[in-house]
Amino acid sequence: MVNLSTRYLGLDIKTPLIVSSSGLTGSVEKIQKLEELGVGAVVLKSLFEEQIRFEAGTQLKNGDYPEAYDYITGYSKMNSVEEYLKLIEQAKKSIKIPVIASLNCISSDEWVSFAKNIENAGADALELNIFFMASRKELSAEKIEDLYYDLVVKIKNVTRLPIAVKMGSQFTNLAAMVNNLYLRGASGVVLFNRFYEPDMDIENMQLTSSDVFSSPSDIRLSLRWVGILSDKIENIDIAASTGVHDGKAVIKQILAGAKAVQVCSVLYKKGEEHVKVMLGEIEAWMTGKGYNSIDEFRGKLSYRQIPDPSMYERSQFMKYFSSYH
């Protein structure tokens, strides 16, 4: 029997498969089933800033009653928070694997005090899903990056929980960004979040939404950056995310240097039982290669470990594939 255990955010996890923040981890029953199937940890669905605002907005649309509006806004905010804390508490009572809470945030003042409640409810770690839509031309890249840093610093000030930042890839210098998050106290990063993206219906002349689920080819962007950053910022734990649909993809991300790998879309598409198939694929590959533990092959194909690290940095097709006509 091979040993699939690994460490992520200072937590011992029995397999490298973590179920991403989503409806898949929205109830104690679902989480219990995921534990039985063999996942190493779960990230609870996010407590969304937008969700709280939306709830309040739909319950009272008439802006003529500001006091009532304030009351209901406060009430539904508390309820969401209460329900979330209850989910953490109940999950902790029912399962042994680590429970990582998730906050979707950008405005640090609003959210920081919640982090302490999350710690008190028993969560093992906190994932911050931070995203700022950088579409205002007056805002400098530095100011936007500072929003991310401030948030990590403020959250670190109120909780002792290990923090992971779940982020997108669109920064001018990802290595500097991740290093700065580490220097401000982040223990890990999740590379990368997948965002809602618009599409168009050209018959009905409407903006529509694109596919909510990833496909296996979406792994590539993450694979490149896991490979590069696992070597360049050695002390931060990387959880690979997006496009991981089978055991092979998990193996690739670990070879690139990931400490753990998050999965979501594939479980929506194929059912939670697919966890077992993926773990079986990893075990079979490890047995075939003679590896007994994850640590034995982690990072074997990372940036510094391969003969030509520039393979990770190649980006101009014309330069490398000019023989294609």
Ligand X SMILES: Cc1cc2nc3c(=O)[nH]c(=O)nc-3n(C[C@H](O)[C@H](O)[C@H](O)COP(=O)(O)O)c2cc1C
- Span from 84-92, 136-144, 238-246, 315-323 in contact with ligand X (CB under 6 A): 238-246
* CA 128/CA 188 separation, integer angstroms: 10
Element of type H or E holding 275: helix 274-289
Least separation in angstroms between residue 81's CB and ligand X is 15
Which parts of 287-316 interact with ligand X (CB under 6 A)? Answer: none
* Closest residue by Cα to residue 164 from 183, 188, 148, 147: 188
Which parts of 151-170 interact with ligand X (CB under 6 A)? Answer: 166
Helix pair angle (49-59, 66-94), 10° resolution: 130
Chosen residue from 9, 41, 264, 279 binding ligand X by CB under 6 A: 264
Q: Are 260 and 239 in contact (CB under 8 A)?
A: yes
Least separation in angstroms between residue 45's CB and ligand X is 5
Chosen residue from 6, 242, 253, 302 binding ligand X by CB under 6 A: 242
Which parts of 205-224 interact with ligand X (CB under 6 A)? Answer: 212-214, 218
Which one, 26 or 300, has the nearer CB to ligand X? Answer: 26
Chosen residue from 45, 77, 224, 274 binding ligand X by CB under 6 A: 45
- Span from 18-26, 116-124, 286-294, 295-303 in contact with ligand X (CB under 6 A): 18-26
Q: Does 21 bind ligand X (CB under 6 A)?
A: yes
Least separation in angstroms between residue 236's CB and ligand X is 18
* Closest residue by Cα to residue 102 from 20, 201, 10, 168: 20
All residues at 6 or more sequence positions from 230 whose CB lies less than 8 Å from its CB, including other chains = 238, 256, 257, 258, 299, 302, 303
Which parts of 175-194 interact with ligand X (CB under 6 A)? Answer: 193-194
Which one, 168 or 227, has the nearer CB to ligand X? Answer: 168
Chosen residue from 6, 22, 76, 108 binding ligand X by CB under 6 A: 22
Chosen residue from 5, 10, 12, 23 binding ligand X by CB under 6 A: 23
Least separation in angstroms between residue 191's CB and ligand X is 10
Number of residues that bind ligand X (CB under 6 A): 23
Chosen residue from 15, 76, 241, 302 binding ligand X by CB under 6 A: 241
Question: Site map for ligand X, 97-136, x if CB under 6 A?
Answer: -----x-x------------------------x-------
Least separation in angstroms between residue 193's CB and ligand X is 5
Structure tokens at 284: 């079979």
User: Rg of the chain's alpha carbons, rounded to an integer?
Assistant: 21
274-309 as b/e: b if 16+ CB within 10 A: bbeebbebbbebbeeeebeebeebbbebbbeeeeee
* CA 33/CA 143 separation, integer angstroms: 43
Q: Residue 125: is it exposed, middle or buried by C-beta count within 10 angstroms (0-12/13-18/19+)?
A: buried
Chosen residue from 46, 76, 108, 253 binding ligand X by CB under 6 A: 46
* CA 178/CA 196 separation, integer angstroms: 23
Structure tokens at 180: 């700065």
48-57 as b/e: b if 16+ CB within 10 A: bbeebeebbe
Q: Does 274 bind ligand X (CB under 6 A)?
A: no
Q: What does the binding site for ligand X look like in residue numbers (CB under 6 A)?
A: 20-23, 45-46, 102, 104, 129, 166, 193-194, 212-214, 218, 241-244, 263-265
